[in-house]
Structure 1
Amino acid sequence: MPFLDQLQRWANERPDDTAIVVGAQRLTWESLQKLAADLVPQSQQVTVLTEGNSVEFVARFAAAVAGERQCAVLDPSWPEHLRNEVRSRLGAPAPASGTALDDGPADSSFLIGMTSGTTSVPKAFTRSRQSWVRSFQASMAFFGLESTDKTMAPGPLASSLNLYALSECLYAGSEFHTLDSFDVGDVHAAITHDGITRLVLVPTMLRLLSERGLLGGVDASGVRSIICAGSKLDARTLEAARRWAPNATLFEYYGASELSFVSGLGLAPGQTPSPGGSGIGRPFPGVEVLIMDDDGGILPDGADGNICVRSGMVSNGYLWGDDGQALRRFGDWFTVGDQGYLTDGELHILGRRSDMIITSGKNVYPHEVELALASVPGVAAAVAAGMPDDLRGQRVVAGIVLSNGGLTATQVRTGLEEVLARDKRPIQYYILDELPLTDRGKVSRQLLLDWIGEGDRKARRLA
């Protein structure tokens, strides 16, 4: 079962309590249960949802996974031809058996997940109901989710981060909030008026909420946990979040759609990480982690390699698009190709191998360069990438957003001396007014290279 039996339970035990809030729309546990139950007979064996955030989306999603049904949630911002291609690969709609709003067999698939993509057809993978129950149990224990919490996940429900947060709250009987679309003022209003205690979001959203919240005097002292995914928090975002939400534990975690949760750490109020650190905590409950080479050999502490995971939360694999590399298996260990190393049980993330920069025969991961740069005084945020270079093969370049004016390239280089090895330091620096972001709010290293290559004023050489 993923969450439907639990939804029935909360509707029986707490029918009039608020379950879901989407902007100005609210549903109680009883009204959500009834709305979803009415939709079950209309749901196909495989339902494709491609719409924005709404209470109706929540009810349709619940109905679409009843019994042994499966649901694929597509990003509505994808081009129509891409959505149509996914639909065609999933096959013609077929009726499903059963009309009850209840969970199917634990080992049956209920979710068809998609890797992100806006131009090419994404890979599709499936998840069993039992894998999500195990994920719920692990994340509730790690993040300390309680039924009295009020969670705000202000991003699109088509994103796996937010869809999982919604489902986790349905399982836990915890009030879930989101918005029709992300708006800083609306999130601040929800924190102030609805008593939000928990935020689930990406670092760029946390930066905006924290900095504007401090400027506007928005009281976030009631927020007790902030859960960030997508990339490691930089020093400025951490500092702003600490001041804006002083009583919150800041959680960071590493995971992948195909693997679920892998490792994480929580920074209690007043606790600060080491500058430029790449550590992302210890394995989640029920998860084992090893570093392996490309042949499945186990590597010692401190050696870089494939981050390999063994847990009951791993997906079933791909329906299509499996090239043998995206999700590799060594016995009962799985990897998506992310690179890292272990030291005394703590996992350190270096990034995807495809992002790796090879300069003068040395392997450099942009992620570790970015973390080091973000620890330099005067640097608000940074993005690093590799540019073609006739002598070195590639040269490391970096774009930086300044927290104040007057910083020179020499000052940046000096700031890196204690936190980054010399052969990993950027050759050139560019001033950015803002980070190069995709439509989903993720940093794009390719966009930085495009700006530099085109001589765009968005990336100006730092002397």
Structure 2
Amino acid sequence: MPITHVVLQTAEQHPDRIAIAGEDGRLTYAELVEDSRHMFAAVESLHRAQPEPPAPAPETRGIPITAVSVESAFHTSRIVAGLAGYRAVSATLDPRWPIEHRVGVVLSTDIGVIVSDSADLAEALAARGWTGTVVSLQEFRELEGGAVPAPMPAVRGGEEPFLMLFSSGTTSNPKAFLKTREQYRANVAVSSAHLEPLPGVATLAPGPVSYSLTLYALIECMATGGSAHMADQFDAIDAGRRIAAVGITRVVAVPAVAQGLAVAARRDPERFASLELVVTGGANLPESIRTGLAEALPGVRLISYYGAAEIGFIGDSRDGDGTLISLYDGIEASIRDDAGNPVPDGELGTLWIRADACSDGYLAGTTTEVLRGADGWATVHDQGRLVPAEGGQSAAEAGPGTGGASTGGVASAEAGAAGSPAPRPRLQLVGRRGDIAVTGGHKVALPEVERAFDGMPGLGAVCAVALPDAALGTVVALVVEPESAAGVPGKAQLQEWAHARLAPQFVPRRWYAVDRLPRTVGQKIRRPATAELVQEGRARRL
């Protein structure tokens, strides 16, 4: 169902229900509708005032692009949600991205208006001849206050693009892609069926709205008549207060937030009495986090979903470490080799997905990389394998047309013939293409090496990397950081732990320690940067 239809319907039937709340304000559904009229009028006036407006990327079909790049999750959310009811494409640029990334995105997509408090961004764009407009958040709010309200928001055609998102922005130049309204309606249909963004549900989504996980949490709340409680960043104590004060029942966040909630709940469990569900995404969920949350909040369920911003929601896991994924209805998966050929069942390869929510492709101005083929199959180069469901057949045994996997490593989430669903194979994720090392003739999934060290006493985060070796070509090394000031375990302890949990070819050949592993602004460990530390001699060899 279109997001704008639900927003207008909720504003009429439940005008006082909270739509968006954050540290800088709150809007009911009735207020959101009225706010969007003033906000769009301000946006439109900024675009129209430009003598030589940037021509937006051709993939937008001539619709001007408006970007928000401010720290405030509340104001970012209300602008994105408000623009959804008008002829507009919105984008969120993380103000913590390197300046060259932000400038590159703006110039390659020809964003026309940016709400940003960054003086260096405005100066850098002006120096490059950009003819668009940068306006501060305060200036934008003053424009809104004096604007003649635009007409009411309205449901628009499904083929029209309305969101521009980015695949990265921390380790490489960001690749932009669009979501049409129809693609996002398909995405909401999947998440509504499995991740429980139900009407009236209060969801806490801490973190920058520039993260696709947080942005999608906002949109799915608006598309289902729920309440989106946003936070500029995650703070466990503040989260506990908000959960108790508002009666929040659902949290959508990265796995580290689930860990923080568990720690806070051990200190003051009463504050979390209303919480029913934690939904995590964006990274594999260590089993220790699932266990810790279950111990601290035994009545709270945890769903770890897998998806790609370009493709949409793909599946989820509800036990273990989040690497064994049950595919959602309507999602097809295929595992292929580098030549694009299906691999035998159980073998490692590149994951391809066919789903209605998938974007058409990357914007040509930002990359030459292909997302989606003419046959509708798409890949973001995640690596994995299809494994039989517990008690079920392998994909080859199931055969075509059984509702499980067909031969050739293709899995479908459809039911079996004659009303008797066959056990469906599940998807086992191992990481991105750069997460696979070939050493001594063996393919080694580096994330699988890392997961073996989950729960080792005295060990903080770890990162497995591939290093050049004269004899083997490549060897696996593990770089570790300490859990506390006591330091990291010794090499002998690490080796003993590894041999007890890994196949011989997966056991690291070299061991290094650093005070802190390199991370993205979203706190994901940066594998290439970690390998550079080792090769440049900036890690201590154990």
For 2:73 and 2:460, locate their aligned partners in 1 and report how far apart those are by CA, in whole Å. Answer: 35
1:15 aligned partner: 15
State the TM-score, normalizing by the size of structure 2: 0.76
Q: Establish whether residue 115 from structure 1 lines up as the match of residue 164 from structure 2.
A: no
1:303 aligned partner: 347
**Looking at CA atoms only, which structure, 1 or 2, has the larger radius of gyration?**
2
Q: Establish whether residue 361 from structure 1 lines up as the match of residue 441 from structure 2.
A: yes
For 2:104 and 2:527, locate their aligned partners in 1 and report how far apart those are by CA, in whole Å. Answer: 28
For 1:64 and 1:369, locate their aligned partners in 2 and report how far apart those are by CA, in whole Å. Answer: 44
Compute the displacement of 1:401 (Å): 4.9
SS of equivalent to 1:319:
coil
Q: Which amino acid aligns with 1:183?
A: D
State whether residues 351 and 367 of structure 1, in contact with CA within 8 Å, keep that contact through their aligned partners in structure 2.
Answer: yes
Q: Which amino acid aligns with 1:67?
A: Y
State whether residues 125 and 317 of structure 1, in contact with CA within 8 Å, keep that contact through their aligned partners in structure 2.
Answer: yes
For 1:170 and 1:230, locate their aligned partners in 2 and report how far apart those are by CA, in whole Å. Answer: 21
State whether residues 316 and 322 of structure 2, in contact with CA within 8 Å, keep that contact through their aligned partners in structure 1.
Answer: no
Q: Which amino acid aligns with 2:72?
A: N
1:443 aligned partner: 525
Q: Which deviates more, 376-385 or 181-190?
A: 376-385
Match of 2:288 among 236, 239, 257: 236
Residue deviations 1:53-84 (CA, integer Å, cap 9, x gap) = 34332232133333332112211222444323
State whether residues 278 and 350 of structure 1, in contact with CA within 8 Å, keep that contact through their aligned partners in structure 2.
Answer: no
Match of 1:210 among 262, 271, 288: 262
1:89 aligned partner: 108
State the TM-score, normalizing by the size of structure 1: 0.88
2:395 aligned partner: none
- In the alignment of these two chains, the number of paired residues is 450
Q: Which deviates more, 59-68 or 345-354?
A: 59-68
- Closer/same/farther in 2, CA of residues 278 and 223 from structure 1, 3 Å limit: closer
Q: Establish whether residue 409 from structure 1 lines up as the match of residue 461 from structure 2.
A: no
1:6 aligned partner: 6
- Closer/same/farther in 2, CA of residues 224 and 216 from structure 1, 3 Å limit: closer
Match of 1:71 among 90, 104, 128: 90
Matches within 5 A, 1:286-435: 286-320=330-364, 325=369, 327-329=371-373, 331-344=375-388, 345-374=425-454, 376=456, 379=459, 381-401=461-481, 407-431=489-513, 434-435=516-517
Q: Which amino acid aligns with 1:415?
A: W
* Structure 1, gaps ≥5 residues long: 268-272
Q: Which deviates more, 158-167 or 182-191?
A: 182-191
- Closer/same/farther in 2, CA of residues 178 and 67 from structure 1, 3 Å limit: closer
Residue deviations 1:371-426 (CA, integer Å, cap 9, x gap) = 12215566554321112222222221113456686844333333334542111111
State whether residues 73 and 207 of structure 2, in contact with CA within 8 Å, keep that contact through their aligned partners in structure 1.
Answer: no
Compute the displacement of 1:131 (Å): 1.0
* Structure 2, gaps ≥5 residues long: 45-63, 114-131, 133-149, 389-424
Q: Establish whether residue 51 from structure 1 lines up as the match of residue 57 from structure 2.
A: no
Q: Which amino acid aligns with 1:12?
A: E
1:180 aligned partner: 232
Compute the displacement of 1:144 (Å): 2.4
For 1:74 and 1:256, locate their aligned partners in 2 and report how far apart those are by CA, in whole Å. Answer: 18
1:39 aligned partner: 39
Q: Which deviates more, 315-324 or 236-245?
A: 315-324
Compute the displacement of 1:340 (Å): 0.6
For 2:224 and 2:354, locate their aligned partners in 1 and report how far apart those are by CA, in whole Å. Answer: 25
For 1:326 and 1:430, locate their aligned partners in 2 and report how far apart those are by CA, in whole Å. Answer: 37
State whether residues 362 and 370 of structure 2, in contact with CA within 8 Å, keep that contact through their aligned partners in structure 1.
Answer: no
Q: Which amino acid aligns with 1:387?
A: L
- Closer/same/farther in 2, CA of residues 144 and 62 from structure 1, 3 Å limit: closer
State whether residues 21 and 228 of structure 2, in contact with CA within 8 Å, keep that contact through their aligned partners in structure 1.
Answer: yes
Q: Which amino acid aligns with 2:84?
A: V
- Closer/same/farther in 2, CA of residues 149 and 278 from structure 1, 3 Å limit: closer
Q: Which amino acid aligns with 2:355?
A: S
Compute the displacement of 1:432 (Å): 5.2
State whether residues 360 and 372 of structure 2, in contact with CA within 8 Å, keep that contact through their aligned partners in structure 1.
Answer: no
State whether residues 142 and 285 of structure 1, in contact with CA within 8 Å, keep that contact through their aligned partners in structure 2.
Answer: no
Compute the displacement of 1:192 (Å): 2.5
- Closer/same/farther in 2, CA of residues 123 and 434 from structure 1, 3 Å limit: same
Residue deviations 1:306-327 (CA, integer Å, cap 9, x gap) = 1111110101211125756552
SS of equivalent to 2:91:
strand
Q: Which amino acid aligns with 2:373?
A: R
Compute the displacement of 1:219 (Å): 4.0
CA-based RMSD of the aligned residues comes to 2.7
Q: Which amino acid aligns with 1:23?
A: E
For 1:91 and 1:426, locate their aligned partners in 2 and report how far apart those are by CA, in whole Å. Answer: 46
State whether residues 23 and 74 of structure 2, in contact with CA within 8 Å, keep that contact through their aligned partners in structure 1.
Answer: no
Compute the displacement of 1:231 (Å): 1.6
State whether residues 53 and 181 of structure 1, in contact with CA within 8 Å, keep that contact through their aligned partners in structure 2.
Answer: no
